[in-house]
Structure 1
Amino acid sequence: MLQRLYNWTLSLAQHPHALWALAIVSFAESSFFPIPPDIIMIPMIIARPNRAFVIAGVALVASVLGGLAGYAIGAFAYDAIGVPILSALGKEHAMEAFAERFNGVGFWAVLAAGVTPFPYKVITIMSGWTAMPLGTFLVTSVIARGLRFFLVAALLWKFGAPIRDFIEKRLGLMFILFVVLLLAGFYVVKLL
């Protein structure tokens, strides 16, 4: 099932309206769809490197808008379903404590999920669920998704098809290492 969905998504890159397909997949991936937009974006950029940054821009805007949809899912589904269940169990204060902890590191959670292979939709929904400040969520989403999509676009624009294998297989690992090093750096600075 997942392989068919992957193949279908990949075939959208060849469609005459591929930018619209990229926008739809980028939007959906940020809130509920399991396939990342990179699989459409990479072949599109390889086919038309002169449009690499336009393609990345479409993915960025659609992904952030999809992130807002994920945020809304978290905010409204929690109010409608989560609160009554937690209240009936006497656990509404436990959620408040979790929300405070999550929102205390929320910037980093959104940044890490936005640039790594971690499912971004999980963080968008969690951000709405915990009522993370919308401004923090938006700014971090723009930074994270912009880093991810524009770095891929820049690499493909500069190096073309030979870099494709690296991006598809190792870029997620590089982003994870980058985030770990960034967090470690901030931790060291905080200790000094």
Structure 2
Amino acid sequence: MLKRTYDWFIDAADKPYALWIMAAVSFAESSFFPIPPDVMLLPMSLARPKKAWWFATVCTIASVAGGVVGYAIGALLYDSVGHWLITIYGLSDKVETFRASYAEWGAVIILLKGLTPIPYKLVTITSGFAGYNIWLFILCSIVARGGRFFIVAVLLNQYGDVIRAELEKRLGTWVTIGAIVLVLGFYAAFKLV
């Protein structure tokens, strides 16, 4: 089943709708969706390493746009939607601490958390809630999210064939590692925020 799913993602990379789905996932992940865009960015870039730069660009633009929606949820809708999303992730008792740290470390928080597997939606909603400067938030988001996606693009553009061969040889192991990293990202969000 894992191999079939992997093959579907690889085959879907050539479909005209794949880029739109990846952009939608990237957009949604920055404001409310729990699945990171890497689930599409990686296989699409493996299937077409020469387009990895374009895929990273689309992910970055969509992620930053979704981050602005997350910011708006925090700024305008925190008492209803924003609080509900934070509660779903079990972080409502940590928001005030996180918010207070923005006064001193806002840009560093956005940059560091944007590069990690920690759910970025927590940063976007809290940035809006904390009233962080929207333009600085957008700039930091471009750097952080672009950095994350372009690191993938550089690696897959340069070493895509080698990575694909290794991935296909040990698919189960790499999917397990990816799942562990995702779970650790959520765990870190719960413990470090």
Q: Is TM-score (shorter-chain normalized) higher than 0.5?
A: yes
Shift, 1:108, TM fit: 1.2
**2:119 is the counterpart of 1:129:** no
Cα distance in 2 for residues equivalent to 1:81 and 1:66: 15
Q: Which residue number in structure 1 is paired with residue 120 of structure 2?
A: 120
Change (3 A) 1:37 1:13: farther
Q: Which runs of 5+ in 1 are unaligned?
A: 1-6, 83-94, 177-192
- Pairwise CA distance, 1:121: 0.4
Higher relative contact order (CA 8 A, sep 6+): 2
The answer for the alignment partner of 1:91 in structure 2 is none
Establish whether residue 59 from structure 1 lines up as the match of residue 56 from structure 2.
Answer: no
Letter matched to residue 33 of structure 1: F
Contact 1:29 1:66 in 2 (8 A): yes
Change in 2 beyond 3 A, CA 1:118/1:99? closer
Q: Distance in 2 between matches of 1:160 and 1:81?
A: 40
% of aligned pairs identical? 46
The Cα shift of 1:161 comes to 4.5
- Give the CA deviation at 1:81: 8.5
Between the aligned partners of 1:49 and 1:64, the Cα distance in structure 2 is 23
Contact 2:98 2:126 (C-alpha < 8 Å) held by counterparts: no
1:155 equivalent to 2:136? Answer no
**Aligned pairs, how many?**
155
TM-score, reference length from structure 1: 0.69
Is 1:111 aligned with 2:111?
yes
- Tell me which amino acid in the other structure corresponds to 1:39: V
What CA distance in whole angstroms lies between the structure 2 residues aligned with 1:111 and 1:63?
14
* Cα pair 2:111 2:141 within 8 Å, conserved: yes
- Aligned partner of residue 16 in structure 2, secondary structure: coil
Residue 89 of structure 2: aligned partner: none
Q: Do 1:13 and 1:41's aligned partners in 2 also have CA atoms closer than 8 Å? A: no
| Change in 2 beyond 3 A, CA 1:40/1:96 | closer
TM-score, normalised by the number of residues in structure 2: 0.69
Q: In structure 2, how many angstroms separate the alpha carbons of the residues matched to 1:117 and 1:81?
A: 23
State the alpha-carbon separation in 2 of the partners of residues 108 and 138 from structure 1. 13
**1:162 to partner: Cα distance:** 3.6
Q: In structure 2, how many angstroms separate the alpha carbons of the residues matched to 1:153 and 1:167?
A: 18
Name the larger-Rg structure.
Answer: 1
Q: 1:52 to 1:98 in 2, by over 3 A?
A: closer
Q: 1:101: how far off?
A: 3.0
**Partner AA of 1:28 in structure 2:** A
**Mapped partners of 1:163, 1:24: distance in 2:** 26
